[in-house]
Amino acid sequence: MDIPEMDYELGLVVGIAGGVLLETLQHIVDVARYVVVDVQALTRTIDSETGLIGLQNLEDTIFYDMLEDIHFLKAARNEALFIDIENVSQTMCLIVSEGKNGCRIYSKDQEFCVPAFPAIEVDLIGAGDSFLAGFSAGLYKGVPMEQAVLMGNYFGGLAVSQVGIPLFTASQLESTDETRNEVLIEKKSVLHPHCTFGQLVITWTMVLQAKP
């Protein structure tokens, strides 16, 4: 195992091509206080003959029994179709990205939305990875989970507005705290026909734009 034997505050699991090994995920779980996983690392399949990439149901993977050891699971809207959201959200926080509509957050006791930042989409490459980077950085900084999702949305929005591998300027990185603080977040308890959950009400205090 190439991961040094030491304690980590946060472990980030992002699949490349064929995903991640079960042993690798187990080791990250053992050494990291918090574990963030991109679901495609667990559910992506590659046909050995055609090379076509597909997805399988999360409950059919070898990783399913480890879900209770994962703290945050991120999925794109199409990937969420292969997840039993109600069951999975009982043991972790599930973040489903919905493009220009932002993200929907599911956990045991609540469900709420965090909207996207205004952006002109020109290329989706790197958007998911940029979201995970911003979200994980927010968690590492110790900000509340909702604020970490905002950071993820911020960098995801910057990524889709560029062609190819996204590049971020120093001023954009430095402005994350200011940008995050310009968003008013209010949670309200509401009654749902089947469960009780929280609704995140977000009001933009200004039009947020990427800074040069």
Distance CA 98, CA 114 (A): 10
Report CA-CA distances (Å) from 123 to 12, 70, 111: 24, 30, 29
Q: Residues with catalytic annotation? A: 129
Report CA-CA distances (Å) from 166 to 52, 124, 133, 146, 152: 26, 10, 12, 24, 14
Residues in the chain: 212
CB 44 within 8 A of CB 58: no
Q: Between β-strands 111-114 and 183-191, what pairing exists: parallel, antiparallel or unpaired?
A: unpaired
